[in-house]
Amino acid sequence: FLTLEIDLTMIKKILSLFVLGLILYSCATVPITGRKQLKLVSNSEILPLSFDQYQQVLKENKLSNNTKWVNMVKEVGYNIQMATEEYMRQNGLQDKIAGYAWEFNLIESDVVNAWCMPGGKVAFYTGIMPICEDETGVAVVMGHEVAHAIANHGRERMSQGLAANLGLSTVSAAMGQNPTMTQELLLQSVGIGTQLGMLSFSRTHESEADRIGLIFMAMAGYNPQAAPDFWKRMAAQSDGQRPPEFLSTHPHPDTRINDLRASLPEAMKYYRRSN
């Protein structure tokens, strides 16, 4: 019995070291903020699934025929894409977006929301456009959503979800075991699933996307000083009981606006450089 107890203790120590090593090995760094994040899933695994799910969403929803708004979303999206790619090149990070296939679409819906799937697949709903008001307002949202993709928030949430729900660390293994749950985890990871999961991670991601998004919109030539006003308009949409979907997992509006103002000096350096 003593030998067995010693063996079990040694096994626990070995497993602990193995898990620690796996976590350390599976860490990635978020551009601009430098935050360490879990990366159990590779882009080569998650991007094909993301692209398939994006096309499925487009098939199941009606695209807007409002030419003005559609062109605005696509033009602002392209400008921020170019600025983002330039930032990544300037900082030697272009390999981090290898395989990205940018796409910007406007879905006909009263839902006040927008999202970005891993790999640069962005969707706006028409319900958010009046709150955006103009191209600069769209740029606030677009910069924020593109920042989610660059910071690999979907991949991070997917990694957390696989570990928590299936005890697996690769998409391929999860698809083999439970493809339905795997697809739902991906949708949840970008906030468009049937449940808004992992809220303890979401608020960190949203705050991070705010900061990064300011820089991307500034580099694209849009004044980041417009961001606090946009979020004031967004907060005003709440009926006092249930906030818009775009605010459902986000920091409190007052906290967000204060944080955005604190990040403006950093972002304005990029804005002045581009004008």
| Tens digits of residue pLDDT in 9-40 | 544 444 333 343 444 445 788 888 888 887 77
Of 47-51, 178-182, 229-233, which range is least confident? 178-182
Split at pLDDT 50, 70, 90, the class of 239 is low
The structure tokens listed for 265 are 């000096």
Phi and psi (nearest 5°) for 207? -65, -40
* Catalytic position from the list 45, 103, 145, 156: 145
**210 is a catalytic site residue:** yes
* Catalytic position from the list 45, 103, 208, 210: 210
Q: Are 121 and 49 in contact (CB under 8 A)?
A: no
Q: Are 239 and 248 in contact (CB under 8 A)?
A: no
Q: Are 127 and 113 in contact (CB under 8 A)?
A: yes
H, E, C per residue of the chain: CHHHHHHHHHHHHHHHHHHHHHHHHCEEECCCCCCEEECCCCHHHHHHHHHHHHHHHHHHCCECCCHHHHHHHHHHHHHHHHHHHHHHHHCCCHHHHCCCCCEEEEECCCCCCEEEECCCEEEEEHHHHHHHCCHHHHHHHHHHHHHHHHCCHHHHHHHHHHHHHCCCCCHHHHHHHCHHHHHHHHHHHCCCCCCCCCHHHHHHHHHHHHHHHHHHHHHCCCCHHHHHHHHHHHHCCCCCCCCCHHHCCCCCHHHHHHHHHHHHHHHHHHHHHCC
Give percent of the chain with pLDDT exceeding 90.
Answer: 47
**45 is a catalytic site residue:** no
Query: What does the pLDDT look like over 76-134, one tens digit per residue?
Result: 999 999 999 999 999 999 999 999 999 999 999 998 989 898 999 999 999 999 999 99
At 199 the pLDDT is 38
pTM above 0.85, yes or no: no
Of 142-146, 203-207, 263-267, which range is least confident? 203-207
The residue assigned the tokens 């581009």 is: 274
At 252 the pLDDT is 73
At 201 the pLDDT is 43
Dmax over CA atoms of the chain, in Å, equals: 77
